[in-house]
Structure 1
Amino acid sequence: MREALSHPVYRKLLAAQVLSVFGSGLTTVALGLLAFELAGANAGAVLGIALALKMVAYVGLAPLATALAANLPRRPFLITLDLCRAALVLLLPFVTEIWQIYVLVFAFQAFSAAFTPTFQATIPDILTDERQYTQALSLSRLSYDLESLLSPMLAGLLLSLMSFHWLFAGTALGFLCSAALVRSVHLPQPRGGAVAAPFRKRLTRGAWIYLATPRLRGMLALYLAVAAGSAMVIVNTVVRVKDTLALGDAAVALHFAAYGLGSMVVALTLPRLLEKIAARQAMLAGGVMLALLMALAALGPSLNAGLLLWSALGAAAALVQTPSGLILRRSCAEPDRPAVFAAQFALSHACWLLAYPAAGLLGAALGLDATFAIMAAVAALSTAAARHLWPALDPEEIEHEHLAFAHEHAEGDADHHPAGTGPHHTHAPLRHKHRYVIDDHHPHWQHSA
């Protein structure tokens, strides 16, 4: 990871991400305790609704926020979002009604829905070398895995010294430090037509590019497989351990640690792996593994076998998720990155919005073994769909032919119309070869002509 970490701007942004992620982890623990304080035995239902609100905010608001912010300077925008999240977290210790939790959680996640894709789209503008960017994706995956392992331990240590209400203060401090780190660096600003385009076009542009690109449609299908597997882990681990195996809280923590450890191993080794095999191969292998591993989980494994399965599930999910930024960067022009990253953020979380309630409701109605079998089938079908949607022959550069056509770009889009012409201009027939992405000049996907 040394090459990515040698970049001073990226180092500060990674530190900002780590602080933000660990702050969110502390909030998760504190929110559970707050829900129990207000709702008692119904705390699980409260947290379930809060989790659903989080997904609704992510799915519905990420493209909207990205479209609204297209003309805003990135650095002040990200700083403002961090400050808003810190302020909202500081309000949580003072809530007295359950509905107040829902309002604050939705508002907090709305700001996160604006922050995360904007932040993610900034990294490839800073690390333009693909090797460094691959390392950055692995470091990002590691930060999330370390949070899942260390945040509960850090929260436990702090709770031995203070009330859980102070965890919210720790979260706010993390966001304030993140804002300070973002303020200390210069961030590149998106250019061209994606910024100058009308709001309605900016709102739908990311989804249009995403769904018109075969490899991205295939990647979305793989994310449904990941959602099926990770939803079973997140929703039903506690049921498997405490009900099926009749074990205690320590065994629950061991299962989650095993899942995170498997993901971390892949994050550490994937940069070198991707030098030898294509990202498509690695991601499809992850989808196949998810289906097979959940089929094995349907057999009701023992504690030790279950820990091995959970570790392998974490590795399989990371095989799909970690290279996704590479595929996104490859599949859009630089000015369109924020919109496409926002589309990925919204569409992938839509998969979790389906998978979370399915895992919980099916598990309660049919039992865990049957639910694992159903989710294994979902992962298998999703992976098969991905293999079909994402062609094995998928070159970056495609030779293709343009017929004569006239169109108009937004004012200020100097990237697309030639010097000496206005936004409205005509293109002569043309046959050429270049890196092919969906944009105003290439509204439909073409294979090599």
Structure 2
Amino acid sequence: MFAAQVVALAGTGLATVALGLLAFALAGDRAAAVVATALTIKMVAYVGAGPLLTAALVRVPRRAVLVGADAVRALAVAALPWVDQVWHVYVLIAVLQCASAVFTPAFQAVIPELVDDRGYTGALALSRLAYDLEALASPLLAAALLALVPFHGLFALTAVSFAASAALVLTTELPRDTGDPRRAAASWRVFATDPRLRAVVLLDLAAAVVTALVLVDTVVLVRAHLGGTDAGVAVALAFFGAGSMAVAFALGRLVDRFGTRALMVAGPAVLAAGSAVLAAGWVLAPGFAVLAAGWTVLGLGCSLIAAPSGRVLRDAAPEGGLAGVLAARFALSHACFLATYPLAGWAGGLDPAAVFAGAGAAVAVCGAAAALLWRPWTANP
């Protein structure tokens, strides 16, 4: 199952690069608007269609759901090289992302049934590492492949990766299905009644504030404010990923020593402190070293929130309702990005020190509210 996740994520990274090149081939100077629209469609699919499709498919055997989602993703990506209209891209992206919004929660719901409690922490760490490695390695892999094949070939390789993921799932023995439509439908209500899950939403919002800042504004900070190069942008993003990976490598030891709640609540504190120091450093001695150090700390804070969160969702889910809870969290966390991505784009034109300070204040408020909601006595051991 981990191999299935890795190959699928590698293909997704290749498709992200290829999509930008396809948008430029179809729309020229309007390519940025095409990519932005495609990303918006992705978020809408995650927020709106994902939970509905998960609930509708709850009686379908999980192997069929996972393999079917991979098959749909492979077909949608394989069709992208043949399109000649921008609206064709939008339709195929909508199909692709709806399938991804089904696959990811279903995949996450299987993992805790394959391992014990200790193994689950390790599985969450590996899953986080896979996401971080995808963000770091896929652009480099795409650049190497583009020296050998045209960008349309990246879509073909992505389709192959989804087919390989489906084959791995198909040949893996999975636990018996335990889904219940009534439990799946109640999953959203759990987020309103369980203080731990309300706190998780606030923590996801804190992570979304910082992640959007990093992903959207790094290019402006490096190129416009520091006079750096395209390679400098990639290196800065790598520091953010490295901070996240450091937590993933140490997750098991951290959970054993401090517990899930302490780690997750510490995430916004790390983010707020990192943002404050980054703002001060930018005023006193702006430079790439300050940005790289700040991005590393922000990567640490975001991973403290994201990496162990699966344990909380597993503990809070009603019997037979884990897939629904994961789908609801998947939608809610991406709804946060629908708000923070535009804000980060607007903030790109402001003074960086003020932006860092504002981000720090926002995550501090989210973290304080989450800590008040999720008191130690509300957390399971």
TM-score above 0.5 = yes
Residue 358 in structure 1 maps to residue 346 in structure 2:
no
* Equivalent of residue 58 in structure 1, options 21, 46, 52: 46
Percent of matched pairs sharing the same residue: 46
Deviation at 1:297, TM superposition (A): 3.2
**CA deviation map 1:73-110 (0-9, x unaligned):** 00011101101100000111112122222111111101
Residue 143 in structure 1 maps to residue 130 in structure 2:
yes
Residue 333 in structure 1 maps to residue 321 in structure 2:
no
* Equivalent of residue 352 in structure 2, options 365, 368, 371: 368
Residue 90 in structure 1 maps to residue 78 in structure 2:
yes
TM-score, normalised by the number of residues in structure 2: 0.96
Aligned positions of 1:254-293 closer than 5 A = 254-293=235-274
Change (3 A) 1:44 1:309: same
Change (3 A) 1:18 1:286: same
Change (3 A) 1:396 1:292: closer
**CA deviation map 1:164-216 (0-9, x unaligned):** 11000010000000000000012224336x24x3xxx743x111012211111
* Equivalent of residue 381 in structure 1, options 355, 365, 369: 365
For residues 187 and 335 of structure 2, the distance between their equivalents in structure 1, rounded to whole angstroms, comes to: 15
- Which residue in the other structure is 2:4 paired with? 16
Aligned positions of 1:24-423 closer than 5 A = 24-127=12-115, 129-191=116-178, 194-195=180-181, 197=182, 202-203=184-185, 205-299=186-280, 300=282, 301-364=286-349, 366-396=350-380
**CA deviation map 1:210-263 (0-9, x unaligned):** 221111111110110000000000001011111111111110010111111111
Gap runs ≥5 in structure 2? none
Opposite residue 352 of structure 1, the aligned amino acid is F
Deviation at 1:395, TM superposition (A): 4.8
Deviation at 1:383, TM superposition (A): 0.5
Query: Which moves more between the two structures, 131-140 or 45-54?
Result: 45-54
Opposite residue 171 of structure 1, the aligned amino acid is T
Q: Is the contact made by 2:81 and 2:152 (CA closer than 8 Å) also made in structure 1? A: yes
SS at 2:76 equivalent? helix
For residues 201 and 364 of structure 2, the distance between their equivalents in structure 1, rounded to whole angstroms, comes to: 14
Opposite residue 281 of structure 1, the aligned amino acid is A
TM-score, normalised by the number of residues in structure 1: 0.81
For residues 82 and 379 of structure 2, the distance between their equivalents in structure 1, rounded to whole angstroms, comes to: 55
For residues 308 and 343 of structure 1, the distance between their equivalents in structure 2, rounded to whole angstroms, comes to: 34
Opposite residue 155 of structure 1, the aligned amino acid is A
**CA deviation map 1:240-296 (0-9, x unaligned):** 111111111110010111111111111000111110112111111111111222233
For residues 330 and 225 of structure 1, the distance between their equivalents in structure 2, rounded to whole angstroms, comes to: 22
For residues 211 and 255 of structure 2, the distance between their equivalents in structure 1, rounded to whole angstroms, comes to: 23
For residues 146 and 54 of structure 1, the distance between their equivalents in structure 2, rounded to whole angstroms, comes to: 21
Deviation at 1:117, TM superposition (A): 0.4
SS at 1:70 equivalent? coil
Q: Is the contact made by 2:278 and 2:290 (CA closer than 8 Å) also made in structure 1? A: no
Is the strand fraction higher in 1 or 2?
A: 1
Q: Is the contact made by 2:80 and 2:89 (CA closer than 8 Å) also made in structure 1? A: yes
**CA deviation map 1:122-176 (0-9, x unaligned):** 111111x111000000000000111111101110110011101100001000000
Larger RCO, structures 1/2 (Cα 8 Å, 6+ apart): 2
SS at 1:64 equivalent? helix
Return the index of the structure with the highest Cα Rg: 1
**CA deviation map 1:281-314 (0-9, x unaligned):** 1111111111222233334331012111111111
For residues 373 and 30 of structure 1, the distance between their equivalents in structure 2, rounded to whole angstroms, comes to: 35
